[in-house]
A and B are shown apart, each in its own frame.
Chain A
Amino acid sequence: DAGVIQSPRHEVTEMGQEVTLRCKPISGHNSLFWYRQTMMRGLELLIYFNNNVPIDDSGMPEDRFSAKMPNASFSTLKIQPSEPRDSAVYFCASSLMGIAGELFFGEGSRLTVL
């Protein structure tokens, strides 16, 4: 079975550009999570969805970040405009049982903003 699929795996962009990260959760999973990995903060939760509805977006850094889940099989995380401090690895994870179930992580999208 395919796991969580993220794209792109690597993205290098210039400051001010729009960045869109994509995630396809495991089929049948009802929850989707976006995390950001940085040296300073480790793995921090940005937002999570349950049944395509955003439940908690308190971790989204600022208005430059937005996330959508238009259907059960696709989510996007958008940064507009991007800044060098947004450089990080962004992980998407999905779960069959929400916050009480194991999270299955994608391979991550490494973003570098110059």
Chain B
Amino acid sequence: ILNVEQSPQSLHVQEGDSTNFTCSFPSSNFYALHWYRWETAKSPEALFVMTLNGDEKKKGRISATLNTKEGYSYLYIKGSQPEDSATYLCAPVGGGYQKVTFGTGTKLQVIP
């Protein structure tokens, strides 16, 4: 089983604060790294799929960076809004496991 760690497990931030969370994964045989946003009672929605070391992707106020050599990715949210409240999942592909394996996620609550 691919070892995926996401931290923190949960956090609360005030509206307008910026925040970030971490996804750690084995760096060997890296292939791709997925980020998803999962709102309660809905289905996961893709944010980014990243493949290159040093890559940075952005979608509105959300951005992500990737370090494949040390095995981590950061997700940043600038100026958090209540509608950003969701669980953010990362899913690395690699380490000899050619499949999309999800971490347990970081649950974000943005307080108005």
Instruction: Say whether A associates with B.
Output: yes
Residues of A near any B CB (own CB < 8 A): 33, 35, 42-45, 48, 55-56, 91, 93, 99-108
Which of B43, B49, B105 contacts A101 (CB under 8 A)? B49
> Is the Cβ of A45 less than 8 Å from the Cβ of B101?
yes
Chain B residues with CB under 8 A of A48: 99-100
Interface size (B, Cβ < 8 Å)? 21
Which residues between 70 and 102 of chain B lie within 8 Å of chain A, taking CB atoms?
89, 93, 98-102
Chain B residues with CB under 8 A of A101: 49
Chain A residues with CB under 8 A of B31: 99-100
- Closest beta carbon of chain B to A46's beta carbon, Å: 10
Residue among A35, A45, A55, A103 facing the most chain B CB atoms (10 A cut-off): A103
Residues of B near any A CB (own CB < 8 A): 31-32, 34, 36, 42-46, 49, 51, 89, 93, 98-105
> Is the Cβ of A102 less than 8 Å from the Cβ of B43?
no
Which secondary structure dominates chain A's binding surface?
strand
Which of A42, A45, A102, A103 contacts B104 (CB under 8 A)? A42
